[in-house]
Amino acid sequence: MTDAMITELALQAMTIAAKMAAPVLLTALVVGFAISLFQSVTQIQEATLSFVPKAVACGAALLFSGNWMLHEMVTYTTQLFEKLPQLLG
């Protein structure tokens, strides 16, 4: 196993982790921004106001993107197991 192989595996793992986290994080970012904008316009300064919409939106993002996430993880794991003899040999 060479340094290039280790670097490639690390890069693939970080890429797949970023792809898995992106839908939920982007949803939370957009909803949080919208709630903050609403709070600043209406001058409602309630800290707990943003929690429920963010939780619901993140749940919806997981519901809609969960199938894609599962497919990506299965594909990555399958490719990793197929490369295993080459990596160890």
Residue 8 domain boundaries: 3-88
- Identify the pLDDT of residue 45: 81
Domain count, the chain: 1
| Burial grade of 27 (CB within 10 A; 0-12, 13-18, 19 or more) | buried
- Identify the pLDDT of residue 80: 92
Does residue 74 sit in helix, strand or coil? Answer: helix
Question: Model confidence at 14, in pLDDT bands (50, 70, 90)?
Answer: very high
- Identify the pLDDT of residue 86: 87
pLDDT digits (tens, 9 = 90+) for 37-63: 999 899 888 878 889 999 999 999 999
Mean per-residue pLDDT, 65-88: 93
